[in-house]
């Protein structure tokens, strides 16, 4: 039996996908839904550029088949940027000089979003662990870590 | 085009000529060596991800992810350490313990520590029967892994050498008072140093790998 009709929630809206259940989630998001904030770096689960949030957890959409997305709650950068926490993180990344070429940044913002949703005042080690699945070729990470700290301070009002 | 096959029971998986799909982190990555032209059989809905403690014994459902093993209060430290060898939180959220064992990789994160701890697998075999086998027999017998049983009080020491946290390991080795296990890049999995084979490749010379394996055994106190 083959399933080719898959319903899921995308950035808070119910959506339906009809097609190959082995199509990669990244392709569906970018090509069918136009969510090009999801980037493809390596295509094999290594770099984290394609990260999205699936049922509250950070996953790499380049190795997720649509067949395993049925009933899931998926968030991409396009949905997260309109949330209160998402907007704070994005602004902190801009103010903190965390962005160079920008290719890794959607994934970094989503990793930060998951971390800051779960933890208040995370330590440097916790921040570095949270973004350890996201590779950045430009920044050397320090300004990204600082910007996540800045986002945490701002959302706590300190 | 590759098909995704849904089944009504695990036994049915044996009658389909395909590759089993659990977390998909090995099966679906771009350079996976697993045959691209074979259909995938979705077994995840039939597998348990429960981690159950019974005295000092721990039973881990084969669908338990690396992340859930890491966050489980019952997981012994030696297993948490090996689970952390998988460096990416994203992959840890997807990859399952069953998929890792079945992949039987020469840089396996978990087989050395599970084997040294005396892990026993609960497996559904090709004849449709459930049986318990020591993990070291899995590569010969195969089957669908249902759960992994370990002792939480076993003392296991793990060693792993890779160029960076994201690199494939050259040697991964684990030791307990009863047994040892080595994953040697380029050669495979071995259950004693005497049987281990070493080859020279882009990860290092055979002598280097052999030196690391001997050093780890010495440091573990088993030499
Ligand atoms: C970037 C990257 C780097 C990696 N590096 C390593 C590494 O260094 N070391 C390492 O060990 N792994 C590595 N992996 C591979 C993989 O992530 C892990 O081995 C993972 O644990 C596989 O689990 P899964 O649930 O994703 O398996 P899947 O990808 O779903 O399946 C893997 C294999 O196991 C079979 N299988 C799955 N579940 C079962 C079951 N219950 N019973 C029987 N067969 C089953 C499948 O048929 C398939 O052949 C890497 C993966 C990526 C993407
Ligand atoms: S593109 Fe998915 S992890 Fe690199
Ligand atoms: S800013 Fe260029 S890869 Fe991170």
Architecture of the domain defined by A4-76: Roll (3.10)
* Residues forming a β-bridge with B133: B121
List, for residues A49-62, the tens digit of each pLDDT value: 999 999 999 999 99
- Asked if pLDDT for residue A2 goes beyond 80, the answer is no
**DSSP letters of A54-107?**
ETTEEEEGGG-BGGGTTT-EEE-HHHHTTSHHHHHHHHHHHHTT--SS-TTHHH
> For residue B183, what pLDDT is reported?
98
Q: What is the arithmetic mean of pLDDT over B85-106?
A: 96
Contact B186, B213 (CB under 8 A): no
Residue B30 Cα to ligand 2 midpoint, Å, equals 10
Mean pLDDT of A139-153: 97
Q: Does ligand 1 lie within 6 Å of residue B172's CB atom?
A: no
> Mean pLDDT score of chain B, rounded to an integer?
93
Q: What is the pLDDT at residue A1?
A: 45
- Residue B184: pLDDT band (50, 70, 90) is very high
What number is the ipTM of this complex? Answer: 0.91
CB contact under 8 A, B90 and A48: yes
Mutate to test the pocket of ligand 1, among B19, B22, B147, B168 (most ligand atoms within 8 A of CB): B22
| C-alpha of B74 from chain center | 19
Question: Could you tell me what percent of chain B has a pLDDT over 90?
Answer: 78
B167: closest chain A residue by CA: A46
* Chain B hits for A54, Cβ within 8 Å: 93
pLDDT at B1 over 70: no
- Ligand 1 neighbourhood includes B34 CB (under 6 angstroms): yes
Contact criterion met (CB below 8 Å) for B161 and B171: yes
Quickly list H helices, chain B: 10-13, 66-71, 77-83, 89-94, 97-103, 111-116, 138-141, 206-220
What integer pLDDT is reported at residue B32 of this predicted model?
72
State the pLDDT at residue B223: 63
Residue A18 in contact with ligand 2 by CB distance below 6 A: no
Closest CA to A132 of B164, B97, B162: B164
Q: How confident is the model at residue B163 (pLDDT cuts 50, 70, 90)?
A: confident
Least confident of A6-20, A88-102, B28-42, B116-130: B28-42
Q: For residue A48, what pLDDT band results from cuts at 50, 70 and 90?
A: very high
User: With contacts defined as CB-CB under 8 Å, which chain B residues touch A2?
Assistant: 3-6
Q: Which residues of A touch B24 (CB under 8 A)?
A: 63-65, 68
Q: Where are the domains of chain A?
A: 4-76, 81-156
Task: Identify the top-confidence range among B7-11, B63-67, B162-166.
Answer: B63-67
Gap from CA of B214 to ligand 1 centroid (Å): 28
pTM of the model: 0.94
Superfamily of domain A81-156: [2Fe-2S]-binding domain (1.10.150.120)
How confident is residue B81, by pLDDT bands cut at 50, 70 and 90?
Answer: very high
- The answer to whether the CB of A12 is under 6 A from ligand 3 is no
């Amino acid at each position: 039996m083959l399933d080719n009709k898959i319903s899921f929630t995308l950035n808070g809206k119910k959506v339906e996908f009809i097609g190959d259940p082995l199509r990669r989630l990244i392709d569906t998001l970018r090509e069918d839904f136009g969510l090009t904030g999801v980037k493809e770096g390596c295509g094999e689960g290594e770099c984290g550029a394609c990260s999205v949030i699936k049922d509250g957890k950070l996953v790499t959409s380049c190795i997720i088949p649509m067949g395993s997305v049925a009933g899931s709650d998926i968030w991409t950068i396009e949905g997260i940027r309109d949330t209160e926490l998402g907007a704070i993180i994005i602004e902190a990344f801009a103010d903190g000089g965390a962005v160079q070429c920008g290719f890794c940044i959607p994934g970094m913002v989503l990793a930060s979003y998951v971390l800051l949703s779960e933890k208040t005042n995370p330590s440097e080690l916790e921040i570095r662990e949270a973004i350890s699945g996201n590779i950045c070729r430009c920044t050397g990470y320090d300004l990204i870590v600082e910007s996540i700290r800045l986002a945490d301070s701002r959302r706590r009002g300190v | 085009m590759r098909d995704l096959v849904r089944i009504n029971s695990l036994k049915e998986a044996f009658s389909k000529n395909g590759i089993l799909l659990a977390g998909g982190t090995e099966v679906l990555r771009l350079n996976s060596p697993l045959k691209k032209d074979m259909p995938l059989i979705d077994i995840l809905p039939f597998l348990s991800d429960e981690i159950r403690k019974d005295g000092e014994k721990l039973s881990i459902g084969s669908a338990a992810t690396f992340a859930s093993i890491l966050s489980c209060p019952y997981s012994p430290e030696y297993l948490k350490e090996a689970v952390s060898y998988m460096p990416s939180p994203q992959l840890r959220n997807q990859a399952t313990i069953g998929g890792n064992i079945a992949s039987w990789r020469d840089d396996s994160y978990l087989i050395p520590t599970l084997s040294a701890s005396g892990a026993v697998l609960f497996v559904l075999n090709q004849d449709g029967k459930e049986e318990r086998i020591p993990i070291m027999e899995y590569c010969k017998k195969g089957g669908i892994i249902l759960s992994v049983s370990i002792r939480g009080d076993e003392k296991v020491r793990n060693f792993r050498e890779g160029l960076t946290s994201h690199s494939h390991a050259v040697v991964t080795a684990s030791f307990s008072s009863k047994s040892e296990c080595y994953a040697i890049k380029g050669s495979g999995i071995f259950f004693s140093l005497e049987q281990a084979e070493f080859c020279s490749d882009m990860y290092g010379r055979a002598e280097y790998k052999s030196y690391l394996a001997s050093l780890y055994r010495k440091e573990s106190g088993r030499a």
